A and B are shown apart, each in its own frame.
Chain A
């Protein structure tokens, strides 16, 4: 089943085209890495998929429904980029923030029950951050906050997980743990779309690659990417090898 279909998607910011003619799709169970240089429109693509930015042309379908009419938001978990300046001194605990991830499953009036609290606890345990539950969100380190946001995205048991640069503030061991969680999620049948500029390690986890630079440079499986002569021409052999980890043979094993 197609989880996400983007067709000929274009996004304009003021008059400049940020994205042009982006077409790709993912099916359930997929693990898609979106990579590209800074300013290539990765974040814009994610925001456009979620209908946070309007598309100038083209369409996005989520679970078969056009994204502007889509309303089954509980099927999607979203981990936005962590910016440091956000909401300094905001009076909320990790528990309260994670619980908001459950609101997409609720109809008016969105009340949280005792059972919801248990769900939150379980998710926090899953990510091994239950000790953070009573901490103020504002007092966490960037890495802790990214894990909290992952918990918030996972707590509603979504089918599609969209992550925007979720590993930026994580140290390497945390990062591996983080990816393990995502892999476990996709093994259970969940779809993962992850945006990262960390093209060096994405190949170890993602099965499919979307290389973006304002338009789609490459979309396909990692194997195809690494064997593609077109990509060798585009990146040069060295860079292609770095992405493919051919010196480790990582991506090709999967």
Chain B
């Protein structure tokens, strides 16, 4: 088995899957913890749906879908925030609204543009095994940016997440922080879509966070557990899917679920 794992590591596509997958998962785990605690976790799902629409636009314009998606999904994420603040619509409703618009845009563009609907649908599931070198480099760079932002603003984000108004009285620019968090989420979602697809991206955001919340007694541990469980699920997911000839994306989700189950039991027992 060990030998087989070493065999697997010989292949560049496995190496790429591990590197890009772990980094994106790591981002997702940090962002997910804040989002889950702020009851805003579904924004990942919503933005993934928006990305579906923007990828449709990218395909229509014959440019690389990521280049079109990154700015547009960022704008959409800010728009979700704006709607939920200004228009007296709750966060979940705002997400649903923007997500529906995104999907409608995708469907509309697919219909107008004709002939790329299958390509568009390949983004629903993504493929962690079919990442190109350019995508790995892009993922690594953007992941590092997001990680740096999170590490630098960790305490600010923690304060806001626990109590937003109090954070404002501490002089933290809460609105700016929230925008930054959602923009980072938008970036990560667009990257993640290429890797795990629209369908699985919210599992990368939510699973590590809820796993950590089962056992963590303090925030530092929560961050560490979330990060560890996200990277573990990608690494184990890739290897298990290699060893047992299973689809990789789904295996990653199952490993995440297994880790969550273990954490849940630990949380109950101890």
Contacts and interface: CB of A to CB of B under 8 A. Distances in A.
Interface of A: 47, 50-52, 71, 73-74, 76, 78, 80, 86-87, 89-93, 95-97, 100-101, 103-104, 106, 108-112, 134, 136, 152
A29 to B, nearest CB: 22
A85 B193 CA distance: 35
B40 to A, nearest CB: 13
B258 to A, nearest CB: 21
B152 interface: yes
- Size class of the contact patch on chain B: 20 to 34
Contact of B158 (A100, A104, A111): A100
Given A52-B169, A91-B219, A100 B155 contact: yes
22 contacts: A50-B169, A52-B169, A73-B169, A73-B170, A80-B166, A87-B37, A90-B37, A91-B212, A91-B217, A91-B221, A95-B218, A96-B220, A97-B162, A100-B155, A100-B158, A100-B167, A103-B156, A109-B153, A110-B156, A134-B218, A136-B217, A136-B218
Given A95-B218, A100-B159, A104-B171, 10 more contacts: A73-B170, A73-B171, A87-B162, A91-B222, A100-B158, A100-B162, A103-B156, A104-B169, A109-B152, A109-B153
B219 A96 contact: yes
Contacts of A93: 217-219
A69 to B, nearest CB: 12
B145 to A, nearest CB: 15
B213 interface: yes
A80 B165 contact: yes
Contacts of B222: 91
A80 B163 contact: yes
A94 B221 CA distance: 14
Nearest to A149: B166
Contacts of B212: 91
A51 B220 CA distance: 31
Listed residue (B37, B165, B171, B222) with the most chain A CB atoms within 10 angstroms of its CB? B171
A90 B213 CA distance: 8
Which 4 A-B pairs rank lowest in CB-CB distance, beginning with the nearest? A73-B171, A91-B222, A91-B216, A104-B170
Interface in B187-245: 212-213, 216-222
Given A91-B222, A136-B218, A96 B158 contact: yes
A108 B171 contact: no
Contacts of A96: 158, 218-220
Contacts of B158: 92, 96, 100
A75 to B, nearest CB: 10
B155 A112 contact: yes
Given A111-B155, A112-B155, A90 B169 contact: no
Contacts of B60: none
A93 B165 CA distance: 19
A90 B158 CA distance: 11
Contacts of B168: 50-52
Contacts of A76: 169
A33 to B, nearest CB: 20
Contacts of B101: none
B171 A71 contact: yes
A112 B158 CA distance: 13
B172 interface: yes
A14 to B, nearest CB: 10
B163 to A, nearest CB: 7
B190 to A, nearest CB: 26
Contacts of A80: 163, 165-166
Contact of B166 (A74, A78, A112, A136): A78
Contacts of B167: 100
A54 B186 CA distance: 30
Nearest to A101: B170
B218 A91 contact: yes
A91 B213 contact: yes
A87 B222 CA distance: 15
A144 B66 CA distance: 50
A216 B222 CA distance: 47
A103 B159 contact: yes
A51 B152 CA distance: 26
A103 B220 contact: no
A89 B162 contact: no
A93 B220 CA distance: 10
